[in-house]
C-alpha cells in the first residue's frame, strides 16, 4: 500500500513538473547579444502623398467592411506626420489616437508594432515599454517603397489580430513589391 502511494506521489510530482509552463519555454535571448547588422535599418524616403494615403485607407476600410469590423485607420508620412485618417461608422472613439499612435510608432521605429508586442509578450523584454512613443500592440505597419520608408499605416478598433489584418490590406498596396 505504501509503495503504491509513493509511486502515485512520484508520478503526480513528475506530471506537475512536466506541465509547468516555465519548464517548457526556452530562455529568451540575451540583451547583451551583439548582432553583425543593425536591425530595421531601412532608410527614410520621400513622404507618401495624400491621394495615395487615401487609397491605402480605402483598401483597409474595404477589408474591415467585408469582415464587419468598424475601424479607425491612419496613414502617416516618413516623418510620422498624419496624412490621412478615417473613422469608420461605429468605430470606437478610444481607438482614434491608438490608430495614429500605431502608425507613428511603425514609421519612427521602422518596424511593425507587432515587433514590440512580441518583445514584451514572447521575450519578456519589458524595457521596451520605457522607450518614448512605443506601442506594444500589433496594427502598425511601415510602408516601404524602393527600399525606403515612405510612411506607415495604423489601425485600431478590434483585437490586435483584426487590426493587423485590416492594416495589411492597406499596406499591401505599397509593400507588395518591396524587399
Q: Identify the CATH number of the domain in which residue 155 sits.
A: 3.30.450.150
If you average pLDDT over every residue of the chain, what do you get?
86
Does residue 21 belong to any structural domain of this protein? no
Does residue 160 belong to any structural domain of this protein? yes
Task: For residues 79 and 43, give the distance between their C-alpha atoms in angstroms, rounded to a whole number.
Answer: 12
Q: What region, left, alpha or beta, does residue 153 occupy, with left being phi > 0 and alpha being psi -120 to 50 degrees?
A: beta
Does residue 33 belong to any structural domain of this protein? no
pLDDT at residue 96 greater than cutoff 70 = yes
The per-residue pLDDT for 145 is: 95
Does residue 148 belong to any structural domain of this protein? yes
4 pLDDT tier (thresholds 50, 70, 90): low
Does residue 75 belong to any structural domain of this protein? yes
Task: For residues 141 and 113, give the distance between their C-alpha atoms in angstroms, rounded to a whole number.
Answer: 7
Range of the domain at 171: 50-175
Tallying the residues shown for the chain, one arrives at 179
Does residue 8 belong to any structural domain of this protein? no
The predicted-structure confidence for 35-59, as pLDDT tens digits, reads as follows 787 777 899 999 999 999 999 999 9
Look at the chain and report how many structural domains it folds into: 1
pLDDT, average across residues 118-141: 90
Does residue 31 belong to any structural domain of this protein? no
Does residue 4 belong to any structural domain of this protein? no
7 pLDDT tier (thresholds 50, 70, 90): very low
Amino acid at each position: 500500500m505504501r509503495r503504491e502511494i509513493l509511486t502515485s506521489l512520484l508520478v503526480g510530482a513528475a506530471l506537475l513538473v512536466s506541465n509547468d509552463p516555465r519548464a517548457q519555454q526556452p530562455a529568451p535571448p540575451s540583451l547583451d547579444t551583439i548582432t553583425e547588422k543593425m536591425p530595421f535599418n531601412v532608410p527614410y524616403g520621400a513622404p507618401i502623398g495624400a491621394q495615395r494615403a487615401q487609397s491605402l485607407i480605402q483598401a483597409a476600410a474595404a477589408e474591415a467592411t467585408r469582415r464587419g469590423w468598424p475601424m479607425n485607420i491612419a496613414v502617416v508620412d516618413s516623418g510620422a506626420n498624419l496624412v490621412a485618417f478615417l473613422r469608420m461608422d461605429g468605430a470606437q472613439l478610444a481607438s482614434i489616437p491608438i490608430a495614429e499612435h500605431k502608425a507613428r510608432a511603425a514609421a519612427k521605429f521602422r518596424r511593425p508594432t507587432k515587433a514590440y508586442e512580441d518583445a514584451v509578450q514572447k521575450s519578456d523584454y519589458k524595457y521596451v515599454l520605457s522607450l518614448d512613443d512605443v506601442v506594444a500592440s500589433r496594427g502598425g505597419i511601415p510602408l516601404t517603397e524602393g527600399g525606403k520608408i515612405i510612411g506607415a499605416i495604423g489601425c485600431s478598433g478590434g483585437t490586435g489580430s483584426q487590426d493587423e489584418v485590416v492594416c495589411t490590406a492597406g499596406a499591401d498596396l505599397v509593400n507588395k513589391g518591396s524587399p
